[in-house]
Structure 1
Amino acid sequence: FWTMKTPAIFTFSLTLSIALLSAVQVGEAYYIPKLYGGGATCQGQVLLVAGSEYGNICDDDWDITDADTICSALSAGSAVATTTQSRFGVNSIDYVMDDVSCSSSASSINSCSWDRTDNCGSSEIAGVICSSCLSGSNYQVRLVGGDTPCEGHVMVYYNGGWGYMYGPAMSSSVADAVCRSAGYSSASTYYTSKVSSSFGAGPTTYSGYQRFSVGSASCSSTASGLSECTLT
């Protein structure tokens, strides 16, 4: 008999306004890429924005060469991994590209070929992990896969690498410390197992990340962040 460890999850309320950038190339849409759901600007699902139009990329034929154009545009290094199957969370945002194909010399996603029509469902969103995401500082936190930046699976940089916090390590005081490390005041809700499928599976299969970086945690109720906690 065995059980699989599950990442810790917590969420708390925040009203979020999203400002969409505008860039229009004469005669055609010129897409600006953004990454969301990864808890950092260097990983997540790809959202393409052109004026008032925005949407996801479908993961059909999505490969590392395609992903490189995204990382380059974001000054986030090169692509070290692609993600498919909405690993950073499922949503109902429409697709603006399918069957993307980029050459190694493509200067941006706009230099690639793609189909405007798609046959993709909500669980086929393409994503990327860029090389700049591999670095970090001890106790740094990312919230992965949530609908907003203030919720998701808890990833922690600890002992030289990124990985998830093991579910049973989570408690009320630990959740508060995680929130404060991420720049928020406190946690309104936390979970010790995966109870929200909308958070997605996250980049759990990427070999550059540890499966779990934190197996246990102990924080005082007044801890200003994870750096004031005991982690193992």
Structure 2
Amino acid sequence: MLAPLVRLVGGSSNDPCSGRVEVYHDNQWGSVCDDRWGLDDAQVVCRELGCGRALSAPGRAHFGWGEGPIWLNYVTCTGAESTLRECRHEGLGSHDCRHSEDAGVVCEGSDIRLGMGFHSCSGRVEFYHDNQWGSVCDDLWGLDDAQVVCRELGCGRALSAPGRAHFGRGEGPIWLDNVRCTGSESTLRECRHAGLRSHYCYHSENAGVVCEGKTQTQVNVLAF
């Protein structure tokens, strides 16, 4: 799977799932014009970045003016595309816009994160519930479960599903046990499990994932 060539800039440091939309092309990050920009377009960006559903699609440089090129204008997504690259647009670099028209997105955010990994797409799986982050037990944990996590986080395919607290012991509650995904689910929340906080585990059994990732090397060698 290709690394995502889209990022969000200018949002809150505590919220990686909102910001000005920027795409990578010709060794340069550039912005997107807000002409015809709407919720269907934002939905594709949020999905591509593993940020859940789109809540809004602000324009008029809501997240600040970008710098450098404006790569896309008149983006027309159906909302079903997997990546922004698949959507129709006027042509790379073809526009009549200024950075005062830069497009943005606000996404719902993900209730999954990875802790203590060796890059952003590996680590101990943590799940958000009841205003608290907690871990996942490794009972029945396998590659199908890891695949759902990697897809939800926009991290490509799953390479492995280590257990036994491979990425260190978590703290707080253990929210999920006996997770059983088919591998086709969009989010870990859709998978079967024993019930929230229903488990017979210790943090020494915390589940982890290693995903293919969205590394800077991949970004540098791929064109939008």
TM range (shorter): 0.3 to 0.5
Give the alignment's TM-score, normalised by structure 2: 0.45
| Structure showing the higher strand proportion among its residues | 1
The structure, 1 or 2, with the larger RCO (C-alpha pairs under 8 Å, 6+ apart) is: 1
Give the alignment's TM-score, normalised by structure 1: 0.44
